[in-house]
C-alpha cells in the first residue's frame, strides 16, 4: 500500500533503492524496508554482460537463468511485504523471469505467506529465439558503433534482449501485483514505473516521465549517490560502514527529494548527487530510454536540509520508435597473470620479467591479438599521466593476453610461475596458482523497431 | 599562476562500451566559467594523448556546473574484452584532475584560487 490513498498534490511516494548491481551489499534491501517508511523497494541486478552469464546457466539447467541473490533478498524483506504492504520491483528475472517468480513463490510458501503475494512477471524482452526471423524480415541488428550487421557473428550469439520500459511494470502494478519480476527492463524504469502507476502519469507526459527516469538514474547505483564512491570531501563522509542507501520521495508534479533513512551513514548533498548524475553519462541533452528522451541539462538540484536534495525542473521529449537491444556473443579468450616484485629496484625487476616473458611467448610463436603489461603501484591507474616520484617500494607486474585461440592463452597461463625461479629476483605473490583462461563474452549493442517487441504481463497468485 | 584542477573540481567517471565518460564538476559555482574556458576539447585531447586511441566529445551542463567528456578508445575494447586493470574507466576521473591550469594572477586572486603546491 502507498502512504496515502488520496491522489492529492502533496501525496508523497517513496521508492527505495536496495541493490545497485548483482553483487551489491546483501544487507541493503532489508535495511531499506526496516529503517523507515518506504512504499516501493527497487532492486537492479542486470549489467550489460549479466544476461549472457544467465543464459549459460539456463542452458545447463532450464530452471535457472535469473539472479539467485534476489531470492535471498526477498526472504529478508518478506515480512515488510506481507505485513506492511511494501512492494518490490526487480529486474532479477534475467533470461528466466517465470522461474524466478516461482522461486519467490516457493520462499513465500515456506514462510506461510504465499497467499499474500501477487507476483507480476514481465516477459517478451528475450529475442534470442527470434534472431533469425528478425534478420530475415529486415531487422539486421546492426552494431550501433561499428555498423556491422549481426549476421557476421550470428553463430556465436549467446543472448539477445531488448531493453524494455515502464509500461508492462505499470500494468502489473495496476493488476494488483505486490512483487514485479522482469527480464531486461531498463534500470531506470524500475523507479519510474511505480511513480507513473501511483500518480497516473500519461504515456506522453514527457516532463514527468523524464523526472521519473532521472530519479531512477540517481538511485539505480545504490549508495553511489549517498556517499559511496564519492570524491567530494570523501574524508569527512560519516560512517560508511553503516551507509544509508538512497530513497526518492516523489510528488505528482514530478519533483522529488533524494533522502536516506535516519541513523544511517553516508551523506546526501548536492555534490554527492551531482557525481551520480554524471555517472556513465553520454550526451546529456538526450538520455534515450524506451519511455522518453530525458534532458539532463534541465536537472536542478538544491540542498533541502541535512541529507536531503530536492530535484526539480526536469524536461523530457517524446520517445523514439526504437528499442536498444543488448546482444552478447563469444569473442575469443583471455587470461591475466600477476607477480609481485620487492624493493630494491622493484620496477626494473618487473620490467625485466615482462621482457623475458614476451621473448618466450614470441619464441613459441603463440598468436595473441593483444598482450598488455601494467605495473601496479606505478602506472596501472593513470598510465603515462602518472608523474615519476622516486622509487616504488614494490611493484606488481600484471600481464594480460587476448586471443581467438584458446590454446595460446592456455600456454600463456603456464609461463608465469616459472619466472619465480628462472627470472629476475625478489619475486613473490604466485600462491594463487596459474591464471584461469576466461572465455570473452563481448557486447553487441543494436537498435530494433519498437513494433517487433511485444511484452507480456502475467500475475501469479 | 599554476592551479591544479584537483583544487577546482571533483569528478566521476564510468564506461559505455570502449568509451570512458568523465564528468567534471566545479567545487564552487563561481569557478565553473573557468572550467568552461580552460577545459577545451583541444586541451583534454592533449591531456589524454597516449592514454586513449580515439576522439573526445564535450558537453556542458551549466545547471550542474559540470562538463561531461566522452573519451573514445579508452578501455582496450571495454567491458569483458579489456585486459586493463581499470576495464570500466572508474579512475579516469582522477586522471582528468591531474591537469594543471595556467590562470592569470589577477583572475586567480579575484576568484580565490588556491595555488598549486610547488614540487
Q: Point out the residue among A231, A383, A443 whose CB comes nearest to the CB of B17.
A: A443
What's the grid cell of residue A86? 511494501
Largest CA distance in chain A: 77
State mean pLDDT over A77-93: 97
| pLDDT (0 to 100) of residue A431 | 77
Q: Is pLDDT at A271 greater than 70 in this prediction?
A: yes
Q: How far is CA A105 from CA A168, A180, A398, in A?
A: 20, 12, 46
Q: Using CA atoms, how far apart are residues B79 and A15, in angstroms rounded to an integer?
A: 30
Q: Would you say residue A182 lies in a domain?
A: yes
Does residue A149 lie in a domain region? no
Last residue of a domain, one of A293, A320, A347: A320
Whether chain B has a CB inside 8 Å of the CB on A279: the answer is yes
Contact B84, B96 (CB under 8 A): no
| pLDDT more than 70, % of chain A | 98
Tell me: pLDDT of A368 over 80: yes
Please say which residue of A320, A348, A369 terminates a domain.
A320
- At B92, which helix (H) or strand (E)? helix B92-96
- Per the domain annotation, does A461 fall within a domain? no
Between residues A275 and B16, which one has the greater pLDDT? A275
pLDDT tens readout for residues A138-157: 999 999 989 999 999 999 99
CB burial string A295-310: b at 16+ within 10 A, e below: bbbbbebeebeebebb
CA B43-B46-B49 angle, 5° bins: 150
Those residues with Cβ within 8 angstroms of residue A440's Cβ, 6 or more apart along the chain or in another chain: A330, A331, A332, A333, A334, A402, B80, B81
Separation CA A328–CA A35 (nearest Å): 39
Q: Give yes or no: residues A278 and A407 share one domain.
A: no
φ, ψ at A402 (rounded to 5°): -135, 135
Q: For residue A229, what are the domain limits?
A: 13-125+163-320
pLDDT at residue number A233:
98
User: How many independent structural domains does chain A possess?
Assistant: 2
Nearest CB among A282, A381, A442 relative to B86 is that of: A381
**Domain end residue (candidates: A320, A350, A370):** A320
The model's pLDDT over A348-363, given as tens digits with 9 standing for 90+, comes to 999 999 999 999 999 9
Beta carbon pairs, A and B, within 8 Å: 124
Does the structure show a pLDDT above 90 at A4?
Answer: no
Task: Look at B76 and A370 and tell me if their CB atoms are within 8 Å.
Answer: yes
Average pLDDT value for residue range A185-209:
98
Q: Between β-strands A256-259 and A40-43, what pairing exists: parallel, antiparallel or unpaired?
A: unpaired
Do A266 and A388 belong together in one domain? Answer: no
Q: With 80 as the cut, is the pLDDT of residue B97 above it?
A: yes
Per mean pLDDT, which range of A257-271, A311-325, A433-447 is the poorest?
Answer: A433-447
Sequence length of chain B is 119
Q: Does B85 touch chain A (CB under 8 A)?
A: yes
Is the confidence at residue B79, as pLDDT, over 90? no
Q: What is the mean pLDDT of chain A?
A: 96
Residue A41 clears pLDDT 90, i.e. is over it: yes
Q: What is the CATH number of the domain that holds A383?
A: 3.30.70.1150
For A:85-144, CB contacts with B below 8 A are none
The pLDDT assigned to A111 comes to 95
Question: Is A5 inside a domain boundary?
Answer: no
Cβ contacts of B95 on chain A, cutoff 8 Å: 381-383, 385
Residue A459 lies in a domain: no
| A167 shares its domain with A54 | yes
Q: Which DSSP string do the residues of A113-154 spell out, in sequence order?
A: -GGG--EEEEE--B-GGGHHHHHHTT-----TTT---GGGGG
Span B9-76+85-98: which CATH code? Answer: 3.30.70
Which positions in chain A touch B94 (Cβ < 8 Å)?
231, 381-382
Per-residue pLDDT, A3: 46
A277 has a chain B CB within 8 A of its CB: yes
* Residue A111 sits in the same domain as residue A205: yes
Nearest-Cα residue of chain A relative to residue B88: A280
What pLDDT shows up at residue A7? 55
Residue A39 predicted with pLDDT over 80:
yes
Give the distance from residue A386's alpha carbon to the nearest chain B alpha carbon, in angstroms: 8
Answer yes or no: do A402 and B81 touch at CB < 8 A: yes
Q: Quick check: is A148 in a domain?
A: no
Q: Which residues pair with A201 in a beta bridge?
A: none
CB-based burial, A185-206: b 16+ in 10 Å, e otherwise: bbbbbbbbbbbbbbbebeeebb
Are the Cβ atoms of A443 and B78 closer than 8 angstroms? yes
The pLDDT tens digits of the residues spanning A419-446 come to 999 999 999 988 788 999 999 999 999 9
Pair A231, A303 in one domain? yes
Q: How many CA atoms lie within 13 A of A28 on its CB side?
A: 32
Residues within 8 A of B (CB atoms), A 288-327 only: 296-301, 313
Structural domain boundaries of chain B?
A: 9-76+85-98
The pLDDT confidence band at residue A2, using thresholds 50, 70 and 90, is: very low
pLDDT at A1 over 90: no
A238 and A315: one domain? yes
Tell whether A75 and A219 lie within a shared domain: yes
Instruction: List, for residues A333-352, the tens digit of each pLDDT value.
Output: 999 999 999 999 999 999 99
ipTM score assigned to the predicted complex: 0.98
Using CA atoms, how far apart are residues A213 and A188, in angstroms rounded to an integer?
5
Same domain membership, residue A344 and residue A250: no
**How many Å lie between the alpha carbon of A138 and the closest alpha carbon of chain B?**
26
Interface contact B5, partner A, CB < 8 A: no
Check B21 against A401: CB less than 8 A apart. Answer: no
Say what the pLDDT of residue A390 is: 86
Helix (H), strand (E) at residue A384: none
Q: What is the CA radius of gyration of chain B?
A: 15
Contact A95, A51 (CB under 8 A): yes
Residue A452 lies inside a defined structural domain of this protein: no
Same domain, A272 and A380: no
Three-class SS state of A79 = helix
Is A2 inside any structural domain? Answer: no
Amino acid at each position: 500500500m502507498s502512504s496515502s490513498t488520496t491522489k492529492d498534490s502533496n501525496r508523497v511516494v517513496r521508492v527505495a533503492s536496495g541493490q545497485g548491481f548483482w553483487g551489491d551489499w546483501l544487507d541493503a534491501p532489508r535495511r531499506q524496508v526496516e529503517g523507515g517508511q518506504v512504499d516501493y523497494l527497487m532492486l537492479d541486478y542486470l549489467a550489460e554482460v549479466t544476461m549472457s552469464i544467465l543464459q549459460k546457466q539456463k542452458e545447463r539447467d532450464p530452471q535457472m537463468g535469473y539472479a539467485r541473490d534476489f531470492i535471498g533478498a526477498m526472504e529478508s524483506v518478506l515480512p515488510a511485504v506481507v505485513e506492511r504492504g511494501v512492494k518490490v520491483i526487480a529486474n532479477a528475472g534475467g533470461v528466466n523471469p517465470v522461474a524466478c517468480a516461482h522461486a519467490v513463490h516457493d520462499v513465500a510458501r515456506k514462510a506461510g505467506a504465499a497467499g499474500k503475494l501477487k507476483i507480476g512477471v514481465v516477459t517478451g524482452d528475450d529475442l534470442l529465439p527470434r534472431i533469425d526471423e528478425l534478420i530475415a524480415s529486415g531487422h539486421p541488428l546492426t552494431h550501433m558503433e561499428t555498423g556491422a550487421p549481426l549476421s557476421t557473428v550470428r553463430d556465436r550469439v549467446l543472448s539477445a534482449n531488448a531493453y524494455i520500459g515502464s509500461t508492462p511494470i505499470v500494468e502489473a502494478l495496476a493488476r494488483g501485483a505486490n512483487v514485479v519480476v522482469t527480464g531486461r527492463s531498463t534500470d531506470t524504469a524500475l523507479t519510474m514505473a511505480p511513480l507513473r502507476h501511483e500518480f497516473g502519469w500519461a504515456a506522453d507526459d514527457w516532463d514527468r516521465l523524464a523526472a521519473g527516469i532521472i530519479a531512477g538514474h540517481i538511485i539505480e547505483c545504490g549508495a553511489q549517490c549517498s556517499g559511496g564512491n564519492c570524491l567530494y570531501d570523501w574524508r569527512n563522509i560519516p560512517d560508511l560502514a553503516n551507509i544509508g542507501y538512497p530513497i526518492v520521495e516523489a510528488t505528482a508534479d514530478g519533483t522529488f527529494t533524494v533522502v536516506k533513512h535516519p541513523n544511517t551513514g553516508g551523506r546526501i548533498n548536492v555534490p554527492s548527487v551531482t557525481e551520480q548524475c554524471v555517472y556513465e553519462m553520454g550526451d546529456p541533452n538526450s538520455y534515450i530510454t524506451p519511455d522518453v528522451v530525458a534532458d539532463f541539462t534541465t536537472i536542478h538540484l538544491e540542498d533541502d536540509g541535512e541529507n536531503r536534495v530536492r530535484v526539480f525542473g526536469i524536461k523530457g521529449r517524446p520517445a523514439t520508435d526504437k528499442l536498444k537491444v543488448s546482444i552478447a556473443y563469444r569473442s575469443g579468450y583471455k587470461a591475466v597473470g600477476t607477480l609481485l616484485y620487492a624493493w630494491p629496484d622493484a620496477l626494473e625487476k618487473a620490467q625485466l620479467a615482462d621482457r623475458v616473458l614476451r621473448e618466450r611467448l614470441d619464441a613459441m610463436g603463440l598468436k595473441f591479438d593483444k598482450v598488455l603489461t601494467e605495473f601496479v603501484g606505478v602506472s596501472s591507474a593513470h598510465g603515462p599521466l602518472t608523474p615519476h616520484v622516486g622509487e616504488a617500494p614494490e611493484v606488481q607486474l600484471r600481464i594480460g593476453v587476448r586471443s581467438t585461440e584458446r590454446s595460446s592463452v592456455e600456454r600463456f597461463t603456464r609461463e608465469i610461475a616459472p619466472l619465480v625461479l628462472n627470472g629476475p629476483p625478489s619475486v613473490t605473490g604466485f600462491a594463487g596458482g596459474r591464471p584461469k583462461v576466461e572465455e570473452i563474452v563481448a557486447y553487441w549493442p543494436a537498435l530494433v523497431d519498437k513494433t517487433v517487441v511485444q511484452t507480456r504481463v502475467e500475475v501469479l497468485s | 599562476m599554476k592551479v591544479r584542477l584537483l583544487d577546482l573540481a571533483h569528478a566521476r567517471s564510468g564506461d559505455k562500451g570502449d568509451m570512458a565518460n568523465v564528468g567534471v564538476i566545479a567545487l564552487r559555482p563561481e569557478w565553473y566559467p573557468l572550467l568552461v574556458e580552460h577545459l577545451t576539447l583541444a586541451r583534454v585531447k592533449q591531456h589524454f594523448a597516449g592514454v586513449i586511441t580515439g576522439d573526445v566529445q564535450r558537453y556542458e551542463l551549466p545547471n550542474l556546473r559540470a562538463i561531461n567528456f566522452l573519451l573514445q578508445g579508452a578501455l582496450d575494447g571495454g567491458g569483458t574484452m579489456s585486459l586493463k586493470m581499470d576495464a570500466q574507466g572508474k579512475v579516469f576521473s582522477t586522471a582528468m584532475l591531474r591537469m594543471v591550469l595556467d590562470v592569470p594572477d589577477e583572475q586567480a586572486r579575484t576568484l580565490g584560487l588556491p595555488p598549486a603546491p610547488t614540487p
